[in-house]
Amino acid sequence: MAGSNINQPLLDQLPKTLQNVDSRRRRLRRLKSAPMPEFIPGEMNDIKDNQSLPRYESILNKLHPSFRKVILYLVIYLGIGTTCFYFVQNQIQGKKVNGVLDSVYFCVVTMTTVGYGDLVPNSSTTKLLASFFVFSGMALVGMVLSKGADYLVEKQETLLIKALHMRDKVGPSVILEEVETNKVRYKCFVITATLVVLIVVGTVFLAEVEKLSTIDAFYCVCSTITTLGYGDKSFSTKVGRIFAIFWILTSTICLAQFFLYVAEFNTERKQKELVQWVLSRKMTNVDLEVADLDNDRAVGAAEFVVYKLKEMGKISQDDILLLLDEFECLDVDQSGTLSTTDLSLAQSS
């Protein structure tokens, strides 16, 4: 108590302007972003519908909702495709090993656009079916399966970070912060390692089971995962086609995700370079004039932040205008500030 009484006169002597700046700074630092939604609107509706049903423990219930959708759509696609191609198997020419297995194999090769040519449609009906399933399969891979692959990569990314900090006693907050900071980089590491494993496994399998030479096996792997599918080398045995159903699907999607993450990494790197340049650049009088949104010849903290965010490319003028329009709609009493009364009036109207 005595120490506080001694320091009080010193505090009273501080310029009021400095005290106001400090209070504004503390007020700005207390601002927190809105909580991020954990589910997309579609998933929220699914969860509300499922809450009324009895909950039974199963493997599917433990999976992420988006991953359950991936499995569901894939099973439906393969089920319908296999059934259709099975009934027209006599109109498909090529080397066959089993009716059902060949149908599933042909469906996967069509969906991933690998198209070896070891099984080809030989009638108008099968050609029309193949045309339909190749477009629907590409849409399934692009919109659904890639989301499932991204979810799996994120899970492996978290496990990788935990393994790197195994000897360090760090909490979940530290791991979460590192995930958010280097998210794209870790994704590239994980997807690259997965792709290398798939290439090695495919090469070894083709050499051991399909009796191809090492060069031919590697050549077949590369032509498959890039969906070239020359067709001179492919899976021709029963065991090989069972393996191909799973391997082709995962390897082609993995390669597509690899290029996606590399492009995302390059974009993020350029964005960080731009941010660093903006933060290191010195302000000029011209910058102050541009940043002065209300033309009062003084730039406040909010105006400075908005100007710098625009320079960094994180927001645009259109974004600012949309937010200002929303603010004006909520500011019912036209006071220039928002209060609980404004919100109540805006919601009631």
Determine the residue type at 202.
G
CA distance 102 to 275: 54
* pLDDT at residue 47 in the model: 39
pLDDT tens-digit map of 191-210: 888 999 999 999 999 999 99
Residue 92 near residue 130, CB atoms below 8 Å: no
The predicted-structure confidence for 5-23, as pLDDT tens digits, reads as follows: 444 444 454 444 444 545 5
Using 50, 70 and 90 to split pLDDT, how confident is the model at 50?
Answer: very low
For domain 52-272, give its CATH number from 1.25.40.10, 2.30.30.240, 2.40.50.180, 1.10.287.70.
1.10.287.70
Q: Which residue has the tokens 């933060």?
A: 279
d(CA 129, CA 168): 56
Per-residue model confidence (pLDDT) at position 257: 82
pLDDT the model gives residue 166: 54
Residue 157 has pLDDT above 60, yes or no: no
Q: Which of 53-67, 156-170, 247-261, 282-296 has the lowest mean pLDDT?
A: 53-67
Of 252, 229, 267, 37, nearest in space to 149 by CA: 252
CA separation for the pair 195, 256 (Å, rounded) = 10
CA angle 193, 197, 201 (to 5 degrees): 175
Higher pLDDT, 105 or 57: 105
Is residue 259 pLDDT above 80, yes or no? yes
Which DSSP letter does residue 143 get? I
What are the residues whose beta carbons fall under 8 Å from the beta carbon of 106, sequence distance 6 or more?
85, 92, 119
- pTM comes to 0.61
What is the 8-class DSSP label of residue 349? -
Residue 293 has pLDDT above 80, yes or no: no
What secondary structure does DSSP assign to 141-156, as a single string?
IIIIIHHHHHHHHHHH
348 pLDDT higher than 90 = no
pLDDT attached to residue 297? 77
Euclidean distance between CA atoms 42 and 96, whole angstroms: 42
pLDDT band at 156 (very low <50, low <70, confident <90, very high): low
- Tallying the residues shown for the chain, one arrives at 349
How far apart CA 327 and CA 336 sit, in angstroms, is 9
* CB atoms inside a 10 Å sphere around CB 150: 17
φ and ψ at residue 151, rounded to 5 degrees: -65, -45
Please state, as a whole number, how many other Cβ atoms lie within 10 Å of the Cβ of residue 78: 19
pLDDT on residue 1: 47
Q: Which has more pLDDT, 144 or 59?
A: 144
Stretch 83-89: mean pLDDT = 92
**Are the C-beta atoms of 189 and 160 separated by less than 8 Å?**
yes
Residue type, 219: Y
- Most confident region among 43-47, 73-77, 177-181 by mean pLDDT: 73-77
Where do the structural domains in the chain lie, given as residue ranges?
Answer: 52-272, 281-334
The band of 124, judged by pLDDT with boundaries at 50, 70 and 90, is: very high
Whole-number pLDDT of residue 203: 96
pLDDT of 219 reads 95
Average pLDDT over residues 290-300: 78
Nearest 10 degrees: Cα torsion 168, 169, 172, 176: -20
**CA–CA distance, 18 with 43 (Å, rounded to integer):** 49
Residue 34, classed as helix, strand or coil, is: coil
Q: Would the pLDDT of 63 be above 60?
A: no
What pLDDT is attached to residue 179? 53
Rounded to an integer, the average pLDDT of 75-104 is 91
CA distance 257 to 221: 17
pLDDT tens digits along 87-98: 999 999 988 999
Please state, in angstroms and rounded to a whole number, the distance separating the CA atoms of residues 217 and 202.
8
Determine the pLDDT at residue 184.
73
Question: Cα–Cα distance between 162 and 172 in angstroms, integer?
Answer: 9
- Give the residue-averaged pLDDT of 74-92: 91
What tokens were used for 299?
A: 């730039």
pLDDT-based confidence at residue 269 (cuts at 50, 70, 90): confident
> For tokens 């710098």, what's the residue?
308
* Cβ neighbours for 153, distance < 8 A, ≥ 6 positions apart: 187, 190, 191, 194, 257, 261
